[in-house]
């Protein structure tokens, strides 16, 4: 069965674009039903119009509490009946109010090899730590910071002269490829979570 996917993004939407194109090419058995952003000027909202995908703008500043903000997101999503939430450069930490409604059905991509370098500026953290290998991780979302069960990881080398930007540029195409693979497996019901371990059907 084709899964109904809601994509959350805060910026330019390069991961969102990779996933949308893969779904439309039949590489992923999902369909993008809505794109939600928390930023009015997010480029991803313009791209969504070109892709003819409905958009939602839900800004944190419009709500007194995080709970009210997340309830508003849940209400806004209801007409689209998503099976799954895919975070593609969504720069807010989701809380219990939202996660409990979609538990086990929220995926995220992070530009580091978790559990190392959680949070913002992961590429800068990797460069400053002097690691020789970094990469990206697709994981299920829980209420912690980039702490949910890991689905898939891809490594890239870190060079002595790397900057945050050069490392980010090297990781980005791996993000696109890894996220597409992970979401395809998810949509085919090939991922199984036991505690903190994700097993994949061959």
C-alpha to C-alpha distance for 98 and 94, rounded to whole angstroms? 6
Tell me whether residue 114 is exposed, middle or buried, using C-beta atoms within 10 angstroms of its C-beta: 0 to 12, 13 to 18, 19 or more: buried
Helix (H) or strand (E) holding 70: helix 66-77
Residue 110 annotated to the active site: yes
Tokens of 94: 């989701």
Q: Choose among 132, 155, 140, 128: nearest CA to 104.
A: 140
Q: What backbone phi and psi angles, to 5 degrees, belong to 133?
A: -135, 135
Catalytic residue, chosen from 29, 110, 139, 196, is 110
Q: Choose among 81, 90, 69, 78: nearest CA to 19.
A: 90
Q: What is the largest CA-CA distance in the chain?
A: 50
* Mode of pairing for the β-strands spanning 106-110 and 133-140: antiparallel
Active site residues: 110
């Amino acid at each position: 069965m084709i899964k109904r996917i809601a994509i959350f993004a805060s910026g330019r939407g390069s991961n969102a674009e990779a996933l949308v194109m893969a779904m439309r090419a039949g590489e992923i058995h999902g369909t993008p039903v809505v794109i939600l952003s928390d930023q009015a000027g997010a480029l991803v909202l313009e791209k969504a119009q070109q892709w003819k995908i409905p958009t939602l703008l839900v800004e944190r500043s419009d709500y007194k509490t995080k709970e009210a903000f997340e309830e508003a997101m849940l209400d806004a999503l209801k007409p689209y009946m998503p099976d799954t939430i895919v975070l593609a450069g969504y720069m807010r930490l989701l809380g219990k109010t939202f996660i409990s409604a979609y538990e086990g059905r929220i995926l995220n991509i992070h530009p580091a090899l978790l559990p190392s370098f959680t949070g913002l500026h992961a590429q800068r953290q990797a460069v400053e730590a002097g690691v020789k290998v970094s990469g990206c991780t697709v994981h299920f979302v829980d209420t912690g910071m980039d702490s949910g069960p890991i689905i898939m990881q891809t490594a890239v080398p870190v060079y002595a002269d790397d900057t945050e930007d050069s490392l980010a540029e090297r990781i980005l195409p791996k993000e696109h490829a890894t996220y597409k693979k992970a979401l395809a497996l998810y949509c085919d019901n090939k991922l199984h979570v036991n505690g903190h371990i994700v097993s994949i059907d061959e």
